[in-house]
Amino acid sequence: MAKSYEEVQAITKVGTGCGHCVEGTKQLVNELIIRKKIDENQIVCGCFKITAGDIVTAVKNGAKSFEEVQAVTKVGTGCGHCVEGNKALVDYLLKK
């Protein structure tokens, strides 16, 4: 399974013509990737072995921002490599 917009682009060529659809399809692909992560309950922060389920639980328990999720779970406070991806995940969950 493709794990990024660029991989989807390489397979389907979406957005490689005029480019007008890039933003919309990027959003769609990111949402599908995030949903899949939630379904699979994958580790989303290797430093602390935090799963997507832990992030979902933090939001369900009332966290209203990435910083609040971080305070509860420690997500992204190690190497920091997962911060951007998990910010997108938290944003997605807060909009639901």
The residue ranges that bind ligand FES (CB under 6 A) are: 45-47, 76-82
Count other C-beta atoms under 10 Å from residue 78's C-beta. Answer: 14
- Taking the least distance from each CB to ligand FES, the nearer of 15 and 76 is 76
Write down the least CB distance from residue 42 to ligand FES, Å.
Answer: 12
Nearest distance, CB of residue 59 and ligand FES, angstroms? 17
Work out the end-to-end distance of the chain between its first and last CA atoms, rounded to an integer number of angstroms: 24
User: Cβ closer to ligand FES: 8 or 75?
Assistant: 75
Burial class of residue 72 (count of CB atoms within 10 Å of its CB; 0-12, 13-18, 19+): middle
